[in-house]
Amino acid sequence: MHHPATIEAVITQVDAAADEAVAFAADLIRIPTVNPPGDAYDECAHAVGDRLLRCGFEVAYHTATQRAEHTTTHPRVNVVGVRPGRHPRPCLHLNGHIDVVPPGDGWTRDPFGGVILDGRLYGRGAADMKTGLVAAIYATEAVRRAGIMLDGTVEISGTVDEESGGEAGVAWLAEQRVINAARTDYVIIPEPFGIDRICVGHRGVYWAEIVTTGRVAHGSMPFLGVSAVEPMAAIVERFRTELRPSLAAHVTVMPVVPSGARHATLNVNTIEGGQSGQAGQTPCVPDRCRLVVDRRFLIEESLDDVRQELRDVLDTTLSLFPGVEYTLEDRLVVEPVQTADEAPVVEAVRSAVSSVVGRDAELVASPGTYDHKHVTRIAGITQCVAYGPGRLELAHQPDEWCDIEDFVSAMKVLALATLRLVGAPADRRE
Ligand SMILES: [Zn+2]
C-alpha cells in the first residue's frame, strides 16, 4: 500500500487544484470542436498542449496527414504529452478525445458557454469527455504538486474523431506507434462511465450491406419483371421473427450495460429500393434494393459465424424468390475487446475507487464502441479501461452536464491509480 502521507498529500493537491481544473474544463467546452466536420481541433489541441507544458510534460503534435478526413480547413491534430519519471517503464497513457457531437436541439443553456451553475458544469463535452481529459491532466498534476517523482512515465493524449471512429485519432497514434505495447503498459480512457464504474471493454460491430437484384419491367406488367423489394421485405420479416429471437439467446459473460445489450443485437439501419431518392416516379418494377444491418456481436461469437448466420437467412428466404440474386458486403467491422478483471490496471482503478468513493467499483462493458478497440487491436495493449466522471446517459443529450463533485472525485481516483501503476515500486503490484 501507499504510504498514507503520500495519499493524503495527493488528495490535498487535487482539492487545491479543483477550481483551476474546472475553469480549464470550461475553457475547453468553449472551443466548439464539433464532429462532424471536426471544427477547431487545432485550437483545442494547442490549448491542451499548452496546459500540458505548464504541467511539466514534453509535448508533441501528431497530425493525421495521411487520412482522407484531414484537410487544411479541418486538420486532424492530436496532442501527446510525455512526463518522464525515473524510468521509461512502466508507462501509463491517459487518453481523452477532444471532439464532441453536434449540439442538436433542446438546449436551455449555451452549449459552448462552459456555464457553471449549482455545482454543475454545463456544455457539449461536459460529460463526453472534456472533463475526463482535464481530470486526467490535473490528476497527474496533483501528483507532481505533491512533490512525488514517479518511477515510471505518464503520458496524456488529446485525440480527434472518436465520435466518428477514431481513425485519425487513437488509431493514427497507434499506427505511428506513439501508443504501442512496446512502450505503453496501461491505458486509461476517462470516458463518462461515472465515478464508481470501470469499463473493461465493448461488444463488436458488424455492419453489412445486402443488395438484392431482380429484373426491371413495366409497372403495368409486373409479371414480366422480378421485384428486388419484395424479397427484401421477406428478409426483414425473417430477421424479426427468426433471427432476432435466436440472437436473444446469445448471451455474453461480459458485464454489458444496460443489461438489454448483454445479448447479440441486430438493427435494420437502412432500406432503400425502387426509385427512392429520385425525382419523379416512373412505372417500373424495382430491380434493386439495398439494406444495411448493424449487428452487434459478442466476445463469444466469431465474425465468420455472424456473417454466416446472415447468409443462412438470405439463402433460405431467397430460395422462395426465383430470379433474385443477392450480394453481402462488409461495411464496418470492429472486433469486441475485453480487459481481464484481474489485470493490474483494473485492480489499480478499483482500489482507488474504493478509497476515494467508499464503494466497490462495478465492472461494466459498453454496448457500443470507443477508442479501446484501437488500443487493443492496433497498439496491442491488453491493459485498457475506461474510467471517468460524468454520466453516460447525459452524453450526446441537450443540457449535457457534469457534477463538479464527481469531477473532483474522478481526479482523485485517477491520481491514486497513477501512483499505484507508475509510482514507487513498493506501491505497485507485481
Ligand atoms: Zn466519448
pLDDT, tens digit (0-9, with 9 covering 90-100), for 85-125: 999 999 999 999 999 999 999 999 999 999 999 999 999 99
As a whole number of angstroms, the distance between CA 291 and CA 328 comes to: 10
Task: Look up residue 130 and give its amino acid.
Answer: K
Whose CA is closest to 133, among 351, 371, 338, 355? 371
CA–centroid distance, residue 191 to ligand 1 (Å): 5
Task: Look up residue 112 and give its amino acid.
Answer: F
Is 135 found in the same domain as 179? yes
Is 291 found in the same domain as 274? yes
- Where does a domain end: 306, 334, 362? 334
- Where does a domain end: 299, 334, 369? 334
- Where does a domain end: 313, 334, 355? 334
As a whole number of angstroms, the distance between CA 360 and CA 372 comes to: 23
Show the CA angle centred on residue 359, arms to residues 355 and 365, nearest 5°. 110
Is 223 found in the same domain as 288? yes
Contact between residue 262 and residue 256 where contact means Cβ atoms under 8 Å apart: yes
Is 170 found in the same domain as 27? yes
Is 360 found in the same domain as 302? no
CA–centroid distance, residue 163 to ligand 1 (Å): 7
Quick one: pLDDT band at residue 128, thresholds 50, 70, 90?
very high
CA–centroid distance, residue 192 to ligand 1 (Å): 7
* Locus of grid cell 458544469: 121
Task: Look up residue 235 and give its amino acid.
Answer: I
As a whole number of angstroms, the distance between CA 364 and CA 155 comes to: 25
Average pLDDT of the residues in 308-320: 98
What pTM does this model have? 0.92
CA–centroid distance, residue 113 to ligand 1 (Å): 19
Average pLDDT of the residues in 56-67: 98
Average pLDDT value for the chain: 96
CA–centroid distance, residue 218 to ligand 1 (Å): 50
Contact between residue 279 and residue 215 where contact means Cβ atoms under 8 Å apart: no
Q: Which domain holds residue 249?
A: 204-334
Measured N-to-C along each axis, helices 404-422 and 4-29 cross at an angle, to the nearest 10 degrees, of 130
CA–centroid distance, residue 157 to ligand 1 (Å): 14
CA–centroid distance, residue 326 to ligand 1 (Å): 37
CA–centroid distance, residue 129 to ligand 1 (Å): 5
Is 218 found in the same domain as 184? no
As a whole number of angstroms, the distance between CA 223 and CA 428 comes to: 75
R_g of the chain, CA atoms, integer Å: 24
Number of domains present in the structure of the chain: 2
* Locus of grid cell 437502412: 270
CA–centroid distance, residue 33 to ligand 1 (Å): 13
Q: What is the CATH number of the domain that holds 10?
A: 3.40.630.10
| pLDDT given at position 430 | 44
Is 387 found in the same domain as 330? no
- pLDDT above 80 for 3: no
Is 198 found in the same domain as 216? no
CA–centroid distance, residue 200 to ligand 1 (Å): 15
CA–centroid distance, residue 91 to ligand 1 (Å): 23
CA–centroid distance, residue 32 to ligand 1 (Å): 15
Which DSSP string do the residues of 372-393 spell out, in sequence order? HHHHHHTT----EEE--SS-GG
Is 97 found in the same domain as 50? yes
